[in-house]
Amino acid sequence: MPDVERGTNLRYIRELLGHNSSKTTEIYTHITLSGMKNVQSPLDQLTDV
């Protein structure tokens, strides 16, 4: 679960990412929240061998 979903303040995430604008962070956060469920780690495929 992304940190923003765990309740981490968006300002802290913005600062850690080095964004000047919270709008930039919101774009990345939106992408993260909407797409994380469909991302599969290549390491997960190693167990299928």
Are 23 and 17 spatial neighbours (Cβ–Cβ below 8 Å)?
no
Number of structural domains the chain divides into? 1
Q: What is the pLDDT of residues 3-45, one digit of tens each?
A: 666 677 888 888 888 999 988 888 777 666 666 677 777 777 7
What pLDDT does 20 receive? 92
The CA distance from 12 to 14, in Å, is 5
Tokens coding 14:
């913005």
Q: Count Cβ neighbours within 10 Å for each residue of 13-33 and write b for 16 or more, e otherwise.
A: bbeeeeeeeeeebeeebeeee
The pLDDT value recorded for residue 33 is 60
Please give the span between the terminal C-alpha atoms of the chain, in angstroms, as a whole number.
Answer: 27
Query: So what's the pLDDT on residue 18?
Result: 92
What global pTM score does this model have?
A: 0.49
Domain span at 14: 3-48
18 vs 49, more confident: 18
